């Protein structure tokens, strides 16, 4: 068992934004049991996953978290077993019989510590689910268990800080509106200087066709990718706008707190409704995309307009001839990283490849690839500095699969992957530059 762990350091004041309070340590086992009992009543998938595992072991070697750390508790089956053994003792049918021979276990503070430690070393990537003959999706168990831990007040300061930033500013980075508007003015000047054209970045334009919702890290730090999107809308002749209320496609609620996810979705839906747009276009963010595509209709009610991904929107422009690319502008050997929440969680696997074929000259797949691709190791929001040792271990299988391609550029069109992969590649000494697909589209776009 590894000694490495991510500290849970959110304090009472950090937790207030989620309307949860810290449960005193001595009361946690009883409270955890009650929360698990409640959860089992409405999360039928959790109960099913706890019931049907045959311990066949087919998932064990398929988790990059286990491959990178060699910690047996990071095997998907062992991770879930940390909950299953409590379930067996207190909730499973025939539990008095099971108790005698199947490792059913009481709950204590050590159990809760192990839950925290190992459910925060799961990237919720869903790779294990591809290999499980019973269809057990450990990512779903992780999401449920992190939610339970949050209700005990056990949350990282990093995650709590992001929830607070979203509530106060509408973006994860906590950038206030005046600074956003200054930044946008600066980007418009940059676009003018680069292209000689008046390419506008509208904010709160009522009646625009599209509300574009970028990840805030693209708007504020990976600005080349964001400016590429502005160029594409300009060239395609589409009226578009940002919202001053929300400039964040990432949705950390998916990782550990469903009410936060719901609130974030609602904010975006209302922004779109009030501006009267025809559709929302989501920028480069894996889990944010999964949230919009897979959860919003269910947990927020039917959407009043479609939410599409930027890549689907761009493919439409390509197919009807509104934009063209010159692939000679991307001559390097380029490989593609499937963000887990696109490929295994959001029906977005072939679309980015179709765009890549149009805008780069030399493309090579990693092995494994597509739905079998390894996670970057930062998924589920494990991006905090205090988790650096774990992050580098979790990213190791991905680093080796990229090294084997010999690629000069790794295209990774997700905000979390773009934050994690440069550090991982550097740590494992893989000489490759990490870029979003928007960057490559922007370079190749014929204006």
The least distance separating ligand SF4 from the CB of residue 143, rounded to whole angstroms, comes to: 10
User: Closest separation between CB of residue 377 and ligand SF4, Å?
Assistant: 9
Q: Which is nearer to ligand SF4, 102 or 408 (CB)?
A: 102
Burial of residue 80, with CB atoms counted within 10 A of its CB: 0-12 exposed, 13-18 middle, 19 or more buried: buried
Taking the complex as a whole, the smallest distance from the CB of residue 75 to ligand SF4 amounts, in Å, to 8
Cα separation, 13 vs 338, whole angstroms:
37
How many residues sit close enough to ligand SF4 to count as binding (CB under 6 A)? 25
Give the HSE-up count for residue 174: Cα atoms under 13 Å, Cβ half-sphere: 8
Residue 126 is a binding residue for ligand SF4 (CB under 6 A): yes
Does 335 engage in binding with ligand SF4 (CB under 6 A)?
Answer: no
Binding mask 128-167 toward ligand SF4 (x if CB under 6 A, else -) reads x---x-x-x-xx--x-------------------------
Question: Residue 55 interacts with ligand SF4 (CB under 6 A)?
Answer: yes
To ligand SF4, the closest distance from the beta carbon of 253 in angstroms equals 18
Maximum Cα interatomic distance, the chain, rounded to a whole number of Å? 76
Question: Which x/- pattern over 66-105 shows residues binding ligand SF4 (rule: CB under 6 A)?
Answer: ----------xx-x--------------------------
Applying CB under 6 A, among 21, 57, 207, 301 the residue interacting with ligand SF4 is 57
Interface residue with ligand SF4 among 36, 46, 63, 393 (CB under 6 A) is 63
- Which stretch, 51-59, 150-158, 178-186, 239-247, contacts ligand SF4 (CB under 6 A)? 51-59
Sign of torsion over alpha carbons 274, 276, 278, 281: negative
The only residue of 56, 179, 181, 404 in contact with ligand SF4, by rule CB under 6 A: 56
Do residues 136 and 129 lie in contact, with contact meaning Cβ atoms separated by under 8 Å?
yes
Residues that bind ligand SF4 (CB under 6 A): 53-59, 63, 65, 76-77, 79, 122-128, 132, 134, 136, 138-139, 142
């Amino acid at each position: 068992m590894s000694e490495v762990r991510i500290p849970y350091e959110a304090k009472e004041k950090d937790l207030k934004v989620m309307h949860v309070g810290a449960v005193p340590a001595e009361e946690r086992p009883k409270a955890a049991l009650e929360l698990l009992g409640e959860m089992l009543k409405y999360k039928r998938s959790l109960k099913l996953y706890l019931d049907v595992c045959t311990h066949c072991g087919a998932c064990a070697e398929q988790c990059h978290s286990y491959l990178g750390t060699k910690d047996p508790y990071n095997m998907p089956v062992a991770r879930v077993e940390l909950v299953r053994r409590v379930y067996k003792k207190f909730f499973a049918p025939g539990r008095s019989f099971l108790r005698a021979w199947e490792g059913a276990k009481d709950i204590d503070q050590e159990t809760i510590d192990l839950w925290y430690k190992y459910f925060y070393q799961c990237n919720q990537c869903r790779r294990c689910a591809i290999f499980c003959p019973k269809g057990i999706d450990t990512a779903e168990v992780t999401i449920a268990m992190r939610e339970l831990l949050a209700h005990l007040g056990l949350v990282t300061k990093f995650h709590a800080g992001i929830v607070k930033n979203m509530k106060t500013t509408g973006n994860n980075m906590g950038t206030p509106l005046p600074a956003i508007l200054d930044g946008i003015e600066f980007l418009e000047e940059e676009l003018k200087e680069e292209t000689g054209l008046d390419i506008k970045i509208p904010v709160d334009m009522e009646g625009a066709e599209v509300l574009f919702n970028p990840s805030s890290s693209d708007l504020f730090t990976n600005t080349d990718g964001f400016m590429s999107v502005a160029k594409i809308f300009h060239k395609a002749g589409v009226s578009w706008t940002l919202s001053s209320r929300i400039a964040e496609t990432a949705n950390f609620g998916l990782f550990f707190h469903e009410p936060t996810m719901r609130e974030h979705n609602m904010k975006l839906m209302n922004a779109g409704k009030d501006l009267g747009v025809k559709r929302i276009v989501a920028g480069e963010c894996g889990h944010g995309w999964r949230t919009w595509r897979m959860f919003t209709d269910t947990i927020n009610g039917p959407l009043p307009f479609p939410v599409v991904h930027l890549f689907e929107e761009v493919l439409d422009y390509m197919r009807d001839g509104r934009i063209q690319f010159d692939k000679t502008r991307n001559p390097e050997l380029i490989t593609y990283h499937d963000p887990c929440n696109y490929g295994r969680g959001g029906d977005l696997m072939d679309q980015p490849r179709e765009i890549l074929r149009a805008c780069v000259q030399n493309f090579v797949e990693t092995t494994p690839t597509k739905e079998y691709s390894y996670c970057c190791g930062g998924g589920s929001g494990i991006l905090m500095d205090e988790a650096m040792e774990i992050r580098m271990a979790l990213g190791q299988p991905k680093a080796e699969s990229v090294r084997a391609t010999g690629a000069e550029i790794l295209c990774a069109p997700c905000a979390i992957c773009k934050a994690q992969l440069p550090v991982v590649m550097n740590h494992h000494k893989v000489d490759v530059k990490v870029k979003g697909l928007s960057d490559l589209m922007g370079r190749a776009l014929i204006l």
